[in-house]
Structure 1
Amino acid sequence: MTIHKEGFASIGIATLILGAINGLSVWFLSQQYPVLSLLIFIVTFGLWLFIISFFRLPSRQLTIDDKKIICPADGKVVVIEETVDEEYFKGKRLQVSIFMSPLNVHVNRNAVTGEVVYSKYHKGKYLAAWHPKSSTENERHSVVYQVGHNEILVKQIAGALARRIVNYLSEGMQVKQGDEMGFIKFGSRVDLLLPLNARVKVKMGEMVKGGVTVLAEW
């Protein structure tokens, strides 16, 4: 397991702040209130470990198959339903949504191999990621992949805690299934809009792994 590049700055800042808190704790509290000073150390050390774990990048055997659409994110499947897309397709699509808790791995991967034909960032609200309107009203970044005659749209959606979406893709790029598409910090959601004839292979409530779990077949 390694640390994702998006975490270097955050971990560095957290180390300085938490180190300063512990330094002040030792200086002012360790003599008169040693138990309190120890408690501060335990809490801040636990927080530091959590921040590091959030940016972890575990080694995985990725699933590569042109006939399959792979989960772009770790998390829990919270939506499988038909919807009407007003952003790009202007019609009915099959939506599958994955909720990412702060404990999940937060790197996002390309669900398919193909060409990026649409990539757009949208400013918006910060509703809780499980809120039904978060898909259309929250801050988000939408990417459309073209695979032959098929297209899928993947949305990285910010939540109440996630205030920064990172996306590495731009229109015209040729991308490979399993490669990184971006990163969402501190819990959020990823939506996929699939053709109506796609065969979904996951179930509601299922825990999935980005780059590994087969989400659907063409």
Structure 2
Amino acid sequence: MKNHNQPVAVEGYPFIGLFAFVTLILALLGWGFLTFLCLCLTLFSVYFFRNPERVVPSQDDAVVAPADGKVVFVGPVQEERCFKGEAVKVSIFMSVFNVHVNRAPFSGKVVDMFYNKGQFLNASLDKASLDNEQGGIVLETANGQRLLFVQIAGLIARRIVTYPKVGDLLEKGERYGLIRFGSRVDVYFPAGSEVSVRLGDRTVAGETIIGTLR
């Protein structure tokens, strides 16, 4: 997958390069305030697309957070795309200040994917799970259980990037995509799964255990 051992996600290179180029031109023209403004945008782009290494928990049945951010929903829902019935959902909202590289919550095989166009509502709202533009992955574990995780665009986000294809194998904590400029990731567990985060908790992608698969 992309961005392995890259300190800055490759998707950020065009933004960083553009802002750096404009900064240089403005500096040569002697336009101080605009130079400073574009320099700030360049540095923010580097910060936004940062891609730190993470230490994945060794616990075999642990499901890790796919995103850095704040838990904005935990609870049972009806999920018809994968489970065709009741599931347990954990939603993580990413602000523009969070790392936006997403990581696989569990190891397994990608058995299905979907992409739905939609609106660009504030991703912290729960109705964003249904109404916003989104792309999902159905992962089948070694023991046949399934896990669904969905990247959801937000108010500012306009680009969902997903690396794997159907048939690919993902390792827990592996980078599998990103969403640009503020967004959300939902994880759907099979009904009866144990969830270990609560509303308002902060998560670190690839490290924070959000639940277990029994």
Q: TM-score, normalised by structure 2?
A: 0.91
Aligned: 1:178 with 2:183: no
Contact 1:82/1:93 (<8 A) preserved: yes
Percent identical among aligned pairs is 37
Cα distance in 2 for partners of 1:20, 1:137 equals 42
Match of 2:52 among 58, 63, 75: 58
Larger radius of gyration: 1
Residue aligned with 1:57, SS: coil
What secondary structure does 1:136 align onto?
A: helix
Relative distance call for 1:49 and 1:95 in structure 2 (3 A) is: same
For residue 203 of structure 1, the aligned residue among 195, 198, 202 is 198
Partners of 1:132 and 1:67 lie apart in 2 by 27
**Cα drift, residue 78 of structure 1:** 0.5
Instruction: Give structure 2 stretches of 5+ with no counterpart.
Output: 1-5
TM-score (norm 1): 0.89
What 5-or-longer segments of structure 1 have no aligned partner?
A: 27-36
Instruction: Tell me the equivalent position of 1:166.
Output: 161
2:18 aligned with 1:13, yes or no? yes
Report the residue type matching 2:147 in the other structure. I
Cα distance in 2 for residues equivalent to 1:46 and 1:151: 43
Q: Which residue of 1 aligns with 2:90?
A: 96
Shift of 1:39: 3.4
Q: Does 1:141 align with 2:135?
A: yes
Which whole-Å CA distance do the structure 2 matches of 1:116 and 1:215 have between them? Answer: 20
Q: 1:62 Cα deviation (Å)?
A: 2.3
Root mean square deviation of aligned Cα: 1.6
Q: Distance in 2 between matches of 1:132 and 1:4?
A: 28
Question: 1:64–1:178: 8 Å Cα contact kept in structure 2?
Answer: no
Match of 2:114 among 103, 109, 120: 120
Q: 2:126 maps to which residue?
A: 132
Provide the residue aligned with 1:216 in structure 2.
211
Distance in 2, matches of 1:67 and 1:132, equals 27
SS in 1 for 2:43: helix
CA contact (8 A) 1:69 1:216 kept: yes
Larger CA deviation: 78-87 vs 208-217: 78-87
Cα deviation code 1:25-58 (max 9, x no counterpart): x1xxxxxxxxxx4433333222221111001111
**In structure 1, how many angstroms separate the alpha carbons of the residues matched to 2:95 and 2:19?**
20
Greater shift, 173-182 or 55-64, is seen at: 55-64
2:197 is equivalent to residue 192 of structure 1:
no
